[in-house]
A and B are shown apart, each in its own frame.
Chain A
Amino acid sequence: MTAPGARPLCLLLVAAAAIAVVLAVRGTDAAPNTRSAPSSSTLAATWTDEDGNGVLERGPGERMVARTDLAPRSAPERTLALLAQITDAHMRDEESPARPTVLDRLGGPFSSTFRPQEALTPQTLAQAAAAVRRLRPDAVLETGDLVDNAQENEMRTALSVLRGGRIDPDSGAPGYEGPQSSSNPDPLFYRPAVDAPRHPGLLALAERAFRSPGLAAPWYPVLGNHDALVAGEVPRTPALERLAVGSRAPVRLPEHSGELPRRGIGPRVVDAELKRTLAGRTRRVAPDPGRRLLSPGEAIRRLRAASGHGAGGERLDYGFDVGKHLRVLVLDLVDRRGGSDGVVTGSEVAWLRRALARAGQRYVMVVSHQPLQSSENGELALRVLDRDPRVVAVLAGHTHRNQIRARRRSGPGYWLINTSSLADYPQQTRAIRLVQTRGGVLLETWMVDTASGEAADTARNLAYLDAQGGRPQGFAGRRIDRNALLYR
Chain B
Amino acid sequence: MRGPLGLRPLAGLRSARGATAALGVFAAALMVGTAATVGVSLSTGFDRAAERADLPDLVVRFHERTRGDVDRRIAALPNLEARSYRLEVNDVPIRARGQSRRRTAVEVVGRGRRGYAVVSGTDLRGPGEVLMERGLARAWEARVGDRVRVGRLGALRLAGIVVAPDDVAYPLISRPRVWISNTGLGLPPGDRAPVNSALVWVRDRSRLDATLVQARAVGFGLRDLRYATRNGLRVLVDRAAGIVIALLVAFSLVAAGAACLMLGASARADVESRLTEIGVMRASGFSRRGLASGFAVRAALAAAGPAGLGLCLGALIAHSPAGRLLDVLSELPPSPRTLAGLLLVPFTGMVGLVAITAGWPAWRAASRPPAELLRGGDLAPRPRRVPWSGTAAGLGVRIATARPVRWLATVTVLASALAVLILMLGLSSFLSGLQDDPGSLGRRYQLTASLPAERAPEVARIPGVEAAQARYEDEGFDSFELGEPVKLIAFRGDHTEFESAPLKSGRRIRGRAEAEVGLGLADALGLRVGSRLAVQLSAGREARFRVVGIVRAIDNDGRVAYVHPARLLLADPGIASTVAVRLAAGADRDAVERRLEELGARPRSAAGIAGGNGRFLGILAGLLRLVAGVNALVCFYALLQALGVVARERRSTLAVLRAGGASRRMLGVVLAGASAAAAVPALLVALAVERYLLGPLVARLAAGYASLPLRPGAAQLALVASVVGLLCAAAAALTARAIARRVVAADLRER
Contact = CB atoms under 8 A, between A and B. Distances in A.
Interface of B: 73, 75-81, 202-204, 207, 209-221, 479-481, 532, 534, 536, 542-544
B203 A188 contact: no
A53 B480 contact: no
A53 B544 CA distance: 31
Contacts of B73: 467
Given A190-B217, A195-B213, A467 B76 contact: yes
A197 B481 CA distance: 11
Given A52-B203, A53-B203, A187-B542, A464 B78 contact: yes
Contact of B542 (A55, A105, A182, A185): A185
B532 A183 contact: yes
A329 interface: no
Given A467-B217, A467-B218, A196 B210 contact: yes
Contact of B220 (A188, A195, A465, A466): A188
Given A190-B217, A467-B78, A467-B215, A53 B536 contact: no
B210 A468 contact: no
A183 B216 CA distance: 17
Nearest to B79: A54
Contacts, number: 81
A-B residue pairs, 9 tightest by C-beta: A196-B209, A53-B204, A54-B78, A472-B76, A54-B79, A467-B214, A105-B220, A467-B76, A196-B210
Nearest to B544: A185
A476 to B, nearest CB: 14
B212 A187 contact: no
B217 A468 contact: yes
B81 A52 contact: yes
A194 interface: yes
A407 interface: no
Given A51-B204, A54-B204, A467-B214, A187 B79 contact: no
Given A53-B203, A54-B207, A55-B207, A187 B536 contact: yes
Given A467-B76, A468-B76, 5 more contacts: A52-B79, A53-B207, A54-B211, A187-B479, A195-B213
Contacts of B76: 467-468, 471-473
A186 interface: yes
18 contacts: A52-B79, A52-B80, A52-B203, A53-B79, A53-B204, A53-B207, A54-B78, A54-B79, A54-B203, A54-B210, A185-B544, A187-B217, A187-B219, A187-B536, A187-B542, A196-B207, A196-B481, A467-B218
A174 to B, nearest CB: 22
B221 A187 contact: no
A8 B213 CA distance: 60
Interface in A32-61: 51-55
Given A187-B542, A188-B216, A195-B480, A467 B204 contact: no
Nearest to B73: A467
Contacts of B214: 465-467
A215 B259 CA distance: 76
A186 B217 CA distance: 10
Contact of A468 (B80, B212, B218, B480): B218
A290 to B, nearest CB: 29
A187 B536 CA distance: 8
A472 B79 CA distance: 11
B78 A185 contact: no
Contacts of A194: 480, 534
Nearest to B215: A467
Contacts of B77: 467, 472
Contacts of B542: 185-187
Contacts of A186: 542
Nearest to A464: B78
B66 to A, nearest CB: 15
A473 B75 CA distance: 10
A471 B211 CA distance: 13
A257 B220 CA distance: 11
Interface in A131-159: none
A188 B217 contact: yes
